[in-house]
Amino acid sequence: METNSKNYDLSSLKIDRDKKLGDRPKSRKWVWLVVVVVLVAIVIGYFALQESVAPAISVDVATASFMSGSDAAAEMVATGYVVAQRLAEVASKGTGRLAYIGFDEGDVVSQGEVIARIENDDIRANLELARARLEQAEVDSLNAGRQYRRQLALLDSGAVTQEVVETAEAAYLGALASVKAAAAAVDIAEVELENTVIRAPFDGTVLTKNAEVGEIVAPFASSATSKGSVVTLADMNSLEVEADVNEANINKVTPGQRCEIVLDAYPSVRYDGYVEKIVPTADRSRATVLTRVAFSDIDDRVLPEMSARINFFIGEQANDQEATALTIPDDAVTSRDGQTVVFKVVDQQVVRTPVSLGRELGSMTEVTSGLSAGDRVVLSPPGKLTDGQKITVSR
C-alpha cells in the first residue's frame, strides 16, 4: 500500500491556470441586504398604516370662555343647597287613626294652629268620667268637712270624745286628698285629649303632607303601617344656603363676609347674602368645611333644596363689574409628566397644551395663560389620550 501511494499520479493536483476569475461563484450578501431593507419597510409601513387607520377616540369638549361681572370678581365660588334652619317633621304625641287634616302642601300655618287631629272619642269619654269623679270627690269633701266641724263643736260641749273628732278630721283630710287626685286625673285626661290634636310649633309653610285621613299615626312609627309624622313644616324666613367649601380655601371665608347667591333655577337673579356661620368641623371624606350663607333679602322664588352658587367677595370686589376671567370646566384640567395641561382640539386632533391656572370659580377654573377664548378642550381626558391623537366630538 505504501508503494501504491508513492506511485499515485500527482499530476491531478496541479492548478488549472486556464480558468478565468469570472468563472468563480458570486457572493450572495446583497440578497440578504435587500431582504432586511424590505422587512424594515414593511414594519414602518405597517405602523404608519395603523396610525392612519386607527379609530378616533370619542370625547366630550367644552369651550374656553370669559366670565364677567361679579362672577369673575369673586375671590372664590362654592356650590350648595338652600336649607331651612327651622324645619320640623310634625307628629302626634298620641297613637290613633287620622280623622282630620286641614292643610296641603304650600299652605301657610300660624304657631298653635290645628294642623290635624286623630280619633279621640274614647279619650273624650275618659275626660268626662274624670270630671264626674272630680265633682263626686268635691261633694264628698264638702260632707266630710261639715261632719268634722260638727264633731269639733260637740267636743267643746263634751258630747263627743277626742277620738271621734280625730276620726272626722282624718275623713275630711282624706276627702280633700281625693279631690286633688280627681283633679289630677282630669288634667291627665285633658293632656291625653290634647295629644290627639296636632298643632303647628311655629309659623311656617307646609312642605310635604306625609299622611292622609284614615291612616294610623304614631309618635315613633312603631309599625310598618303607621306614619311617624303628618306634615313637614318649614319656616321660610329661616332659609339659608349650606355650601361645602374646600378646606384649602376656608382661610378665604370669614363670618359676615359679603356674598352673592345665584340660584340655578334663576341664573339671572342675584341675591345679596353674607356668611352666617362656619361649622367648626371638616368632612374628612370630601376635604370640605360646611359654611352657612344667609340671605340679606329673600323672596317667594327661593325654595328649600334648590341648588345655588355662592360668590365670595373680599372688600369692594362685588362692585367690579368690569372684571373678566377666562375659564374652563374643572374636569378639563389634568396632569401629564408633572405638568398641568389640557388637551386642546385642533383639526380633529388633540394638542397637549400646558396651562397656568388661577382661582377656583365653582365648577370652573380660571386660566391665566396657555389658552384663548374660543379654544375647545377635552373634558375628562382619558389616560390613554396622547398628543396628536385623532378624536371625534360626541358633544
> Is the pLDDT assigned to residue 161 strictly greater than 70?
yes
For domain 57-70+324-393, the question of CATH label 2.40.110.10 is answered with no
Using alpha carbons, select from 354, 346, 393 the residue that is nearest to residue 374.
346
Taking the chain, what is the end-to-end CA distance rounded to the nearest angstrom?
100
Q: What is the pLDDT of residues 196-206, one digit of tens each?
A: 899 999 999 99
| Mean predicted confidence (pLDDT) in 330-340 | 85
Contact yes or no for 66/374 (Cβ under 8 A): no
- Does pTM surpass 0.85? no
> Is the pLDDT assigned to residue 150 strictly greater than 80?
yes
71 vs 146, more confident: 146
> Is the pLDDT assigned to residue 217 strictly greater than 80?
yes
According to DSSP, the residues that pair with 240 across neighbouring strands are 83, 294
Helices (H), the chain: 2-6, 29-53, 69-73, 121-157, 162-194
For domain 121-194, the question of CATH label 3.30.470.20 is answered with no
Give dist(CA 214, CA 118) in Å, integer.
Answer: 9
Give the burial class of 299: count Cβ atoms within 10 A of its Cβ; 0-12 exposed, 13-18 middle, 19 or more buried: exposed
> Is the pLDDT assigned to residue 154 strictly greater than 80?
yes
Q: Using the structure block, give the residue that is written with the C-alpha cell 374660543.
A: 374
What sign for the dihedral angle of Cα 88, 89, 95, 98?
A: positive
Domain 76-85+235-312, CATH homologous superfamily name and number: Efflux pump adaptor protein, beta barrel domain (2.40.30.170)
For the chain, the domains span 57-70+324-393, 76-85+235-312, 87-119+196-234, 121-194
The most confident of 229-233, 288-292, 333-337, 383-387, by mean pLDDT: 288-292
| Mean predicted confidence (pLDDT) in 270-283 | 92
CATH of the domain spanning 87-119+196-234, picked from 3.40.50.2020, 3.10.450.50, 2.102.10.10, 2.40.50.100: 2.40.50.100
User: Considering the chain, what is the average pLDDT of its residues?
Assistant: 82
Using alpha carbons, select from 229, 188, 234, 221 the residue that is nearest to residue 92.
229
The confidence score (pLDDT) of residue 292 equals 95
Region for residue 71 given its phi and psi (left: phi exceeds 0; alpha: psi -120 to 50; beta: otherwise): alpha
The confidence score (pLDDT) of residue 9 equals 54
Position 1 confidence tier, pLDDT thresholds 50, 70, 90:
very low
Give the burial class of 366: count Cβ atoms within 10 A of its Cβ; 0-12 exposed, 13-18 middle, 19 or more buried: middle
> Is the pLDDT assigned to residue 193 strictly greater than 60?
yes
> Is the pLDDT assigned to residue 224 strictly greater than 50?
yes
Which three cell numbers, joined as nine digits, stand for 372? 384663548
Quote the DSSP letter at residue 191: H
Position 274 confidence tier, pLDDT thresholds 50, 70, 90:
very high
Q: What is the pLDDT of residues 64-104, one digit of tens each?
A: 887 766 666 677 888 899 999 999 989 888 888 999 998 88
| Mean predicted confidence (pLDDT) in 257-262 | 91
The confidence score (pLDDT) of residue 358 equals 80
The confidence score (pLDDT) of residue 291 equals 94
Position 225 confidence tier, pLDDT thresholds 50, 70, 90:
low
Q: Using the structure block, give the residue that is written with the C-alpha cell 440578497.
A: 31
Strands 231-234, 356-361: pairing kind = unpaired
> Is the pLDDT assigned to residue 4 strictly greater than 60?
no
